[in-house]
A and B are shown apart, each in its own frame.
Chain A
Amino acid sequence: MTAAVPRIGVVTFPGSLDDRDALRAVATMGGEPVSLWHAEHDLHGVDAVVLPGGFSYGDYLRAGAIAARAPLLDQVAAFAAVGGSVLGICNGFQILCEAGLLPGALIRNRSLRFICRIVTLRVETAQTAVTRGLTPGETLQMPMKHGEGQWVATPEQLADVEEDGLVVFRYSSGEGIVDDVHNPNGATNNIAGVRNAVGNVVGLMPHPEHAVDPDVGPTGGQALFASLLEAALEGSPA
């Protein structure tokens, strides 16, 4: 008997840029990539959804603000509400925050400049759809590339996020040391990615889809996609 292949949808908004990369990463990791179109009202029965990086609608107004109100986002929210796995990468993370599916907001980097470089992330929890195969404290390498990736929250939100263990990734050194030297964009508490309370919705600024192919860079994204594929098959986040 052959193993079932999970179908992973990747949403293309006008201005999405890393959608092709996310589709390719899904295929590389053994899933079936399914391209989804922002204007439809149909997830085509996919087992998990990826909101990719880019500048949806030009990021005019605020990064992710317009895409968060796109027709397909109603379906994505409903899918998440019943436990479906959703991963937002970079602009996808910004969209999930704007849609209220994840806590916090992303503002301009501390340097006020776009930054493209390889960073190290420390895994903070295995209780999510994309880290279920990982161990807290592990470090992963993958690129980041954004101008508005400084995660911030109100003091109350931040307290909740930290106390409830909603931080999924922090920027760190290769040895897992979290400090300001290893904070590329000024993110509060070095937070690079967060989850919702259930753990089925995760967003992060760095790009796991650009870290699955050893020919073009580090491979820290492989474990995230492997976890997502498993979660998608089982229909449960962790």
Chain B
Amino acid sequence: MIAGETPLHRSLGLEDDEYDSIVATLGRVPNRTELAMYSVMWSEHCSYKSSKIHLKTLPTDGPAVLVGPGQDAGAIDVGDGMAVVFKLESHSHPSAIEPYQGAATGVGGIVRDIISMGARPVALLDPLMFGPLTDERNRWLFEGVVAGIGGYGNCIGVPTVGGEVRFADAHSSNPCVNVMCVGVARADDLVTATALTPQAGSVMVLYGAATGRDGIGGVSILASATLEEDAEVSRPSVQIGDPFAEKLLIEASLELIATGLLEGLQDLGGAGLSCALSESASRAGMGARVDLDAVALREPGLEAFEVLTSESQERMLAIVHPSKLAAVQDVCAKWGLASSVIAELTAGDRLQIRSHDEVVADVPARSLADDGPTYDRPATAPAPPPGDDPTFLPFDGDVTDALVMLLGSPSIASKRWAFEQYDQLVLGNTIVGPGADAAVVRLEGTLKALALSVDGKGRFGRLDPYLGAMHAVAEAARNVAVSGAKPVAITNCLNFGNPERPEVMWQFIESIRGIRDACVALGTPVTGGNVSFYNESGDSAIDPTPVIGMVGLLGDYRLRVPSAFPRGGLAVCLLGETFPELGGSELAEVVLAETGGRPPALDLDREVALQALLLGAANETLLQSAHDCAEGGLAVALAECAIGAGQGFAVALTGDLPPHVAMFSESASRAVVSLARGDEERLRALAADHGVPLARIGETGGPRVVIDGLVDVTVERLADTWEGAIPRLLGAAV
């Protein structure tokens, strides 16, 4: 090595001690191709090296769990021989550089995770976070990401049924693009490591798109480092999507599984063939002999390391017994997909890769796939965020103005501008689409339905990552419960800054502790997830934002509860209790510009009781509507209930809190419900049984929103503000 020159392993993102460990494993110095493979497989993105010791502490067992973490996606049993497969992932860094393709290929990648489990993808949800829309670049990112999600998702026949969009300053340089996919399979068809037992002599068939130079080093260059000023130079590391090929891949893969032709199936995502080959072989407890010359290329002249690390999209790797090879290739041909045999499983553990009659790599499959480094990185609590707790500051504003400001704040305002660009309906099972507390998707051919919600609480997380994470889990579960569904299990996408900074690591560890405690209390195990580190650039890191993807089950979708007030003459009740808690609230952020303080407390016993009450009341058909009280507090929740179906109301505030606190405090474990007057006694009794405070605060009716002599405006005015906010910021027609 020439003095002063950066050694190759470092420029590929490997640490010196990681390099030494590779040398020790191989008993020799790795060649360039091998080094490239290790650099992608041992990247943060693929190896979870900074997070895995902490992820192990999450609860993963439960009666409904069929497949827990460690597979392409988790799976739960929903009865009737059906399994639901789901996973949440990020594609933030590619989207920050090229928003359309970054978001599009994010959708493609998560969909392949679901099909590689043997499930038909039936729903997509997109939690997104951007900087303020007053900035032109943020508008470009938001418009590009939404167009990319639609452009890809709409072409593959999977409905986008939900998601959320939040705006915060820290996301100007670091937009977060998370995508959740949910699939349905016959439990017998689940493709997992334990279900299938390939033998030596079985072959690996690569099918789908050809391999090109796109996305090389995506996981190591883009996903495992911070984005800096010159991020545009990374644009060639962003993959390019072809949704038409993905649709064919879905149909071909599901036909291969349904006809029992496969011994294993693996998607090609991050780290490309390096990952698919090593994981498939390692999972089978074998090695493989690989012929790189058999890989169909988009252009001639790719070097071995490029073929092995390309992240070209829309490819799958199947393990096939030789007796079934012809049938497998027939199915691929029927769907117009190229397929080629690129490897053979061998006894032993060597992944031996040949190209042009030369061995270009010869490494233990397991060392690439499973023996990556593990770090217990130092963690230090940062100084508490500056600023006062807004809860106890004097408030001399007008509460009506504050309510209007909050409804027009992009994080709370209607996201119709985005959702309308998504096909919400294909497959014909969308009972409740985007914009509700939870999406409701029928399990075809049954009366059952899934209730799905994605939630992140970045602002609470900044003030207290433990509480922020607990709130995210609790709110996701509450969103499912207000719909009348039982929360069953979660997946997650953990969006954080640079884990090499002790403050970020502390936020991460605290967040994991919060997820763990909330999931244990709520009985919703973690079936998998994804860690997205390095969401920072320069001095600006995102708030610690674990996004929770909750899957709930409705036994009979006819018992689902809508969120909006359906008609006049109903009693309006607040379930739960309001405390003086404005820290981290929308009021504090949008109206008071006061970012300090403490987030609301979360008493998990109260949360469990509230959700049990909501489920019980839904099953007894007592509720005409139910809506979670979250961002913007009681006043915004009530306004949303009114806007949904154009139904006004008049309520009084109870208790002795100052009006702005009673209206906008974001205390947890609350819901606004409406019910027929004749059902009030039964709900009161049920609430008493569960120990949940219930206050009858008013009635629905009329065209106006009336709050205790403080607010008296038309529903129409609030609806215009709420509906028009984002289109106005984008300069688009409503």
User: Residues of B contacting A53 with CB < 8 Å?
Assistant: 426
**Contact check: which of B156, B419, B427, B430 meets A20 at CB < 8 Å?**
B427
A24 at the interface (CB under 8 A from B): yes
Tell me whether B336 and A14 are in contact (CB under 8 A): yes
* A22 nearest CB across to chain B (Å): 10
Are A55 and B427 CB-contacts (below 8 A) given A14-B335, A17-B157, A116-B422?
no
Within 8 A of B (CB), among A106-165: 111, 113-117, 143, 145, 147
Q: How far is the CA of A116 from the CA of B425 in the complex (A)?
A: 9
Stretch in B243-251, B377-385, B653-661 with 4+ CB within 8 Å of A? B243-251
**Contact check: which of B147, B243, B244, B733 meets A14 at CB < 8 Å?**
B244
A58 at the interface (CB under 8 A from B): yes
Are A115 and B247 CB-contacts (below 8 A) given A17-B157, A17-B426, A216-B430?
no
Tell me whether B427 and A111 are in contact (CB under 8 A): no
Chain B residue with Cβ nearest A184 = B420
B424 at the interface (CB under 8 A from A): yes
Q: How far is the CA of A145 from the CA of B434 in the complex (A)?
A: 14
Tell me whether B428 and A114 are in contact (CB under 8 A): no
Q: How far is the CA of A209 from the CA of B426 in the complex (A)?
A: 10
Tell me whether A215 and B442 are in contact (CB under 8 A): yes
**Contact check: which of B247, B424, B442, B733 meets A15 at CB < 8 Å?**
B247
Q: How far is the CA of A111 from the CA of B733 in the complex (A)?
A: 8
Q: How far is the CA of A147 from the CA of B247 in the complex (A)?
A: 18
Are A54 and B157 CB-contacts (below 8 A) given A14-B244, A113-B147?
yes
* A195 nearest CB across to chain B (Å): 25
Are A216 and B429 CB-contacts (below 8 A) given A55-B155, A116-B424?
yes
User: Residues of B contacting A55 with CB < 8 Å?
Assistant: 154-155, 243-244, 247
* B292 nearest CB across to chain A (Å): 29
Within 8 A of B (CB), among A177-219: 207, 209-210, 213, 215-217
List 12 A–B pairs whose Cβ atoms lie within 8 Å, in order of A's numbering: A14-B244, A15-B244, A15-B247, A55-B247, A58-B245, A59-B155, A59-B244, A111-B732, A115-B420, A116-B423, A215-B431, A217-B430
Tell me whether A114 and B154 are in contact (CB under 8 A): yes
B607 at the interface (CB under 8 A from A): no
Tell me whether B244 and A60 are in contact (CB under 8 A): yes
- The prevalent SS among residues of B at the interface is loop
Chain A residue with Cβ nearest B426 = A17
Tell me whether A216 and B154 are in contact (CB under 8 A): no
**Contact check: which of A21, A115, A217 meets B427 at CB < 8 Å?**
A21
Q: How far is the CA of A215 from the CA of B443 in the complex (A)?
A: 12
B2-18 CB mask vs A (1 if < 8 Å, else 0) is: 00000000000000000
B506 at the interface (CB under 8 A from A): no
Chain A residue with Cβ nearest B433 = A116
Tell me whether B428 and A20 are in contact (CB under 8 A): yes
Q: How far is the CA of A26 from the CA of B155 in the complex (A)?
A: 23
* A109 nearest CB across to chain B (Å): 10
User: Residues of A contacting B157 with CB < 8 Å?
Assistant: 17-18, 54
User: Residues of A contacting B336 with CB < 8 Å?
Assistant: 14
List 17 extra interface pairs beyond A15-B247, A113-B147, A216-B442, CB under 8 A.
A14-B244, A15-B155, A17-B423, A17-B426, A18-B157, A20-B427, A21-B426, A21-B427, A24-B428, A53-B426, A54-B157, A55-B243, A114-B420, A116-B422, A209-B428, A216-B428, A216-B431
Tell me whether B247 and A114 are in contact (CB under 8 A): no
Number of A-B contacts (CB under 8 A): 86
Q: How far is the CA of A59 from the CA of B244 in the complex (A)?
A: 8
Tell me whether B244 and A207 are in contact (CB under 8 A): no
Q: How far is the CA of A143 from the CA of B425 in the complex (A)?
A: 9
A41-65 CB mask vs B (1 if < 8 Å, else 0) is: 0000000000001110111100000
User: Residues of B contacting A215 with CB < 8 Å?
Assistant: 431, 442, 557-558
* B107 nearest CB across to chain A (Å): 14
Within 8 A of A (CB), among B499-548: none
Q: How far is the CA of A113 from the CA of B154 in the complex (A)?
A: 12
Chain B residue with Cβ nearest A25 = B428
* A64 nearest CB across to chain B (Å): 14
Q: How far is the CA of A18 from the CA of B243 in the complex (A)?
A: 16
Chain B residue with Cβ nearest A22 = B428
User: Residues of B contacting A59 with CB < 8 Å?
Assistant: 155, 244
User: Residues of B contacting A113 with CB < 8 Å?
Assistant: 147, 420-421
B→A interface (CB under 8 Å) = 147, 150-151, 154-157, 242-245, 247-248, 335-336, 419-431, 442, 557-558, 732-733
Chain A residue with Cβ nearest B157 = A17
A→B interface (CB under 8 Å) = 14-15, 17-18, 20-21, 24, 53-55, 57-60, 111, 113-117, 143, 145, 147, 207, 209-210, 213, 215-217
Tell me whether A58 and B243 are in contact (CB under 8 A): yes
Tell me whether B425 and A210 are in contact (CB under 8 A): yes
Chain B residue with Cβ nearest A57 = B244
* B558 nearest CB across to chain A (Å): 8
**Contact check: which of A20, A24, A145, A213 meets B154 at CB < 8 Å?**
A145
Tell me whether A116 and B442 are in contact (CB under 8 A): no
Tell me whether A14 and B421 are in contact (CB under 8 A): no
Q: Which 7 A-B residue pairings sit nearest by Cβ, starting from the closest?
A: A58-B244, A17-B157, A21-B428, A55-B155, A114-B421, A145-B423, A114-B150
Q: How far is the CA of A232 from the CA of B508 in the complex (A)?
A: 63
Chain B residue with Cβ nearest A113 = B421
User: Residues of B contacting A147 with CB < 8 Å?
Assistant: 150, 154
Q: How far is the CA of A160 from the CA of B597 in the complex (A)?
A: 70
**Contact check: which of A21, A54, A116, A207 meets B421 at CB < 8 Å?**
A116
Q: How far is the CA of A116 from the CA of B434 in the complex (A)?
A: 11
User: Residues of A contacting B243 with CB < 8 Å?
Assistant: 55, 58
Tell me whether B428 and A210 are in contact (CB under 8 A): yes
User: Residues of B contacting A58 with CB < 8 Å?
Assistant: 155, 242-245
* A187 nearest CB across to chain B (Å): 16
Q: How far is the CA of A55 from the CA of B336 in the complex (A)?
A: 15
Chain A CB within 10 A, most for which of B150, B151, B420, B429: B420
Chain A residue with Cβ nearest B429 = A216
User: Residues of B contacting A17 with CB < 8 Å?
Assistant: 155-157, 247, 423, 426
Chain A residue with Cβ nearest B248 = A14
Tell me whether B244 and A217 are in contact (CB under 8 A): no
User: Residues of A contacting B442 with CB < 8 Å?
Assistant: 215-216
**Contact check: which of B147, B247, B335, B426 meets A18 at CB < 8 Å?**
B426
Chain B residue with Cβ nearest A18 = B426
Tell me whether B244 and A117 are in contact (CB under 8 A): no
User: Residues of A contacting B431 with CB < 8 Å?
Assistant: 215-216
* A215 nearest CB across to chain B (Å): 6
User: Residues of A contacting B424 with CB < 8 Å?
Assistant: 116, 145
Chain A residue with Cβ nearest B422 = A116
User: Residues of A contacting B156 with CB < 8 Å?
Assistant: 17
Tell me whether A115 and B421 are in contact (CB under 8 A): yes
Are A116 and B420 CB-contacts (below 8 A) given A55-B243, A58-B243, A145-B425?
yes
Q: How far is the CA of A116 from the CA of B417 in the complex (A)?
A: 10
Q: How far is the CA of A225 from the CA of B147 in the complex (A)?
A: 33
User: Residues of A contacting B429 with CB < 8 Å?
Assistant: 216
Q: How far is the CA of A79 from the CA of B732 in the complex (A)?
A: 45
User: Residues of A contacting B420 with CB < 8 Å?
Assistant: 113-117
Q: How far is the CA of A213 from the CA of B430 in the complex (A)?
A: 11
Q: How far is the CA of A117 from the CA of B431 in the complex (A)?
A: 14
User: Residues of A contacting B154 with CB < 8 Å?
Assistant: 55, 114, 145, 147
User: Residues of B contacting A111 with CB < 8 Å?
Assistant: 732-733
Q: How far is the CA of A17 from the CA of B157 in the complex (A)?
A: 5
User: Residues of B contacting A54 with CB < 8 Å?
Assistant: 157
Chain B residue with Cβ nearest A212 = B428
Chain A CB within 10 A, most for which of B154, B248, B430: B154
* A113 nearest CB across to chain B (Å): 5
Chain A residue with Cβ nearest B434 = A116
* A67 nearest CB across to chain B (Å): 12
User: Residues of B contacting A207 with CB < 8 Å?
Assistant: 425
Q: How far is the CA of A11 from the CA of B243 in the complex (A)?
A: 20
Tell me whether A217 and B421 are in contact (CB under 8 A): no
Chain A residue with Cβ nearest B416 = A117
User: Residues of A contacting B151 with CB < 8 Å?
Assistant: 114
